[in-house]
Amino acid sequence: MAQLNFGGVTENVITREEFPLAKAREVLKNETIAVIGYGVQGPGQSLNLKDNGFNVIVGQRKNSKTWDKAVADGWVPGETLFDIDEASKRATIVQYLLSDAGQIQAWETVKNNLNAGDALYFSHGFGVTFNEQTGIIPPKDVDVILVAPKGSGTSLRRMFLAGKGLNSSYAIYQDATGRAKERVTALGIGVGSGYLFETDFKKEVYSDLTGERGILMGALAGVFEAQYNVLRKNGHSPSEAFNETVEELTQSLMPLVAENGMDWMYANTSVTAQRGALDWRHKFRAATEPVFDELYSSVASGKEAERVISSSSQADYRDKLEAELKEIRESEMWQTGAVVRKLRPENN
């Protein structure tokens, strides 16, 4: 285990150098890994594991779009693709990658197929952390582990194909066999992690729900809309407002921040940009930190989990979701975005 120093804080991480792929294959050589769910994380994790030489099958509901997607990706019905019941029966490691709502619905089926010594793997701490609401209480005789890639399954797969890795957190909730640590590490390396950093199920879900609602999606979308609206109200064209708000950030600045850090970005912009960014940074932090405090409290209290479970269990949830997405999709800002994306050089 490597020790890294993060601004004076020492943290233990696991790298691919100290736990290479060959070692991961050896640890799991007698295991059958069933990836249950082929939605957000399932495709990337299962395909990466297969390409890395592990024994992988997929479990998915038949007669669904995701079943058809799995077939299109090369999984063979009756050989490497099964319904959820059959796949979980065949596995010694069940990677439970259905949506949070889907995990609740399929839990009795999966639980009944877990045998002593098996491993139950998650990529999100939601179901176990909020088990009073989800009903997901693992049997005591199985390992319960977590690997959570810090990005979408699509990003995980794209980076894997490019020879790169997406960093992941890992956690052990229950070590029934004494092998949970080596199993979770091998799986983390197998799915294509860059490095693995330790957490627990509760911290993973608290940080994840905060991040999704905050800077990764909720706050980002809200700030985009606010700046775009202000520019439009002040007479700027849709193209100018979108480019200054979204396009320059996503296509130019953020890739450079990802490579070099925000201090590098400040040091390599004009004095006008430097001064304005440094001065207004504090105002935005002061304005938004109370919102993040409120958000974290809502996550930690279970209110966000309750809302997710309540909303997603309603019969008309999909219809309501589509209406909300349609509102975003058909807004002037994102209609402008659709046009701007088509005009990028790589699309012409």
Instruction: Give residue-wise pLDDT tens across range 218-235.
Output: 999 999 999 999 999 999
- Supply the DSSP symbol for 178: S
Residue 4 near residue 13, CB atoms below 8 Å: yes
Please name the residue ranges forming H helices in the chain.
Answer: 21-27, 42-51, 65-72, 84-90, 100-112, 126-129, 131-134, 153-161, 180-190, 201-213, 218-233, 238-242, 248, 254-260, 262-267, 271-300, 303-312, 317-329, 332-342
In CATH terms, the fold of domain 211-347 is N-(1-d-carboxylethyl)-l-norvaline Dehydrogenase; domain 2 (1.10.1040)
Percentage of the chain exceeding pLDDT 70? 100
Give pLDDT tens digits for 309-341: 999 889 899 999 999 999 999 999 999 999 999
User: Would the pLDDT of 278 be above 90?
Assistant: yes
Q: Quote the pLDDT of residue 9.
A: 82
Q: Quote the pLDDT of residue 347.
A: 79
For residue 3, give every residue at least 6 positions away whose Cβ sits within 8 Å of its Cβ, in sequence order, or none. 10, 11, 12, 13
CA 266 to chain centre: 29
User: Would the pLDDT of 302 be above 90?
Assistant: yes
* pLDDT (average), residues 53-63: 96
User: Would the pLDDT of 70 be above 70?
Assistant: yes
Mean pLDDT, all residues of the chain: 94
Is 2-199 CATH 3.40.50.720? yes
Amino acid at 193: S
Q: Quote the pLDDT of residue 348.
A: 67
Q: Quote the pLDDT of residue 248.
A: 94
> What's the token pair of residue 154?
């699509």
Answer yes or no: 282 catalytic: no
* pLDDT (average), residues 190-214: 95
Q: Which of 124, 157, 183, 213 is catalytic?
A: 124
**Per-domain residue ranges for the chain?**
2-199, 211-347
- Prediction pTM value: 0.89
What is the rounded radius of gyration, in angstroms, for the C-alpha atoms of the chain?
22
B/e letters for 161-177, b = 16+ CB within 10 Å, e = fewer, are eeeebbebbbbbbbebe
User: What is the band of 6 on the pLDDT scale with cuts at 50, 70, 90?
Assistant: confident
